[in-house]
Amino acid sequence: MAKNLKVLQRPEAESSSLHLTTAMNMMLKLHLVRIKNEDKMRLYLLETFCLLIPVSVIFALSPPQATVAVGADQLVVLHWVESNDPGVIGYNVYRRTGLTGSFSKVNQQRLSITGFADVTVHNDTTYFYYVTAVSVTGQESDSSNNVRVIPHFLSDDELLDFLEHAAVDFFWYEANPLNGLIKDVSTQDSPCSIASVGFGLTAICIGIDRGWIPRDAGQQRVLNTLKTFWTLPQGDGSTGYAGYKGFFYHFLDMKTGLRARNSELSSIDTGLLLAGVIYVKEFFNTPDSTDQLIRSLADSIYDRVDWRWMEATANHGGIYMEWTPDNGFNNVSWWKGYCEAMIMNTLATGSPTHPANAGDLYLTWTSGYQWGTYYGYSYVVFPPLFGHQYSHCWIDYRNINDPWMSKKGITYFENSRRATLANRAYCAENPGHFVAYSDSIWGLTACDGPPPSYYMARGGPPAQNDDGTIAPTAAAGSIPFTPEESVTALRAIYDNYRSKLATPYGFADAFNPTKGWFDDHNIGIDQGPIAIMIENYRTAKVWNIFMENTDIQRGLKALYFSPITEVRQGKSGFAPTPYLFQSYPNPFNPNTTIQYVVTRKSHVTIVVYDVLGRRLEELYDGVQLPGTYSTIFNAINYPSGIYFCSLVVGGSRFFQKMILLK
Average confidence (pLDDT) per 10 residues, the chain, 662 residues: 33 34 35 36 37 46 93 97 88 96 95 95 97 92 95 95 98 97 96 98 96 96 98 98 98 98 98 98 94 96 97 81 95 93 97 94 94 96 98 95 93 96 97 97 98 94 98 97 96 97 98 97 98 94 93 95 62 54 82 84 91 89 85 92 89 83 86
Return the pLDDT at 569.
43
**The dihedral formed by the CA atoms of 633, 636, 637 and 642, expressed in degrees to the nearest 10:** 60
Closest CA to 662 of 645, 644, 637: 637
Q: Would residue 566 count as lying in a domain? A: no
Query: Residues in the chain, how many?
Result: 662
β pairing state of 322-323 and 88-97: unpaired
Q: Would residue 273 count as lying in a domain? A: yes
Phi and psi at residue 35, in whole multiples of 5°? -125, 130
Statement to judge: residues 124 and 166 lie in one domain? no
Dist CA 567 CA 585 (whole Å): 27
Buried/exposed code over 268-286 (b: 16+ C-beta within 10 A; e: otherwise): bbbbbbbbbbbbbbbbbbe
* 3-state SS, one letter per residue, for 559-592: CCCEECCCCCCCCCCCCCCCEECCCECCCECCEE
Domain that holds residue 147: 65-153
Return the pLDDT at 34.
35
Instruction: Look at residues 513, 538, 563 and tell me which one is the last residue of a structural domain.
Output: 538
Statement to judge: residues 390 and 312 lie in one domain? yes
Return the pLDDT at 572.
34
Statement to judge: residues 485 and 511 lie in one domain? yes
Q: Would residue 9 count as lying in a domain? A: yes
Whether the CB-CB separation of 196 and 181 falls below 8 Å is answered with no
Return the pLDDT at 627.
77
Counted domains in the chain: 4
Whether the CB-CB separation of 352 and 587 falls below 8 Å is answered with no
Return the pLDDT at 576.
52
Statement to judge: residues 229 and 372 lie in one domain? yes
Closest CA to 79 of 527, 528, 523, 504: 504
Count of alpha carbons within 13 Å of 653, Cβ hemisphere only?
6
The Cα diameter of the chain in Å comes to 98
Statement to judge: residues 28 and 141 lie in one domain? no
Return the pLDDT at 314.
66
Dist CA 388 CA 442 (whole Å): 16
Beta-bridge partners for 608: 617, 645
One-character DSSP codes across 169-180: HHHHHSB-TTT-
Dist CA 419 CA 473 (whole Å): 15
Q: Would residue 608 count as lying in a domain? A: yes
Instruction: Look at residues 538, 569, 602 and tell me which one is the last residue of a structural domain.
Output: 538
Give, in order, the Cα–Cα distances in Å from 512 to each of 422, 441, 454: 20, 12, 11
Return the pLDDT at 565.
54
CATH code: domain of residue 382: 1.50.10.140
Q: Residue 79's CB: how many other CB atoms inside 10 A?
A: 22
Return the pLDDT at 353.
95
Statement to judge: residues 165 and 143 lie in one domain? no
Statement to judge: residues 163 and 134 lie in one domain? no
Q: Would residue 571 count as lying in a domain? A: no
In angstroms, what is the C-alpha Rg of the chain? 27
Dist CA 432 CA 430 (whole Å): 5
Instruction: Look at residues 122, 153, 184 and tell me which one is the last residue of a structural domain.
Output: 153
Statement to judge: residues 180 and 316 lie in one domain? yes
Q: Which helix (H) or strand (E) holds 488?
A: helix 483-501
Statement to judge: residues 425 and 534 lie in one domain? yes
Statement to judge: residues 180 and 118 lie in one domain? no
Is-above-0.75 flag for pTM?
yes
Statement to judge: residues 35 and 103 lie in one domain? no
One-character DSSP codes across 29-67: EE--EEEEETTEEEEE-PPP----S-HHHHT-PPPPEEE
Dist CA 96 CA 127 (whole Å): 6
Q: Would residue 634 count as lying in a domain? A: yes
Cα three-residue angle 614-616-621, rounded to 5 degrees: 115
Statement to judge: residues 177 and 125 lie in one domain? no
CATH code: domain of residue 648: 2.60.40.2550
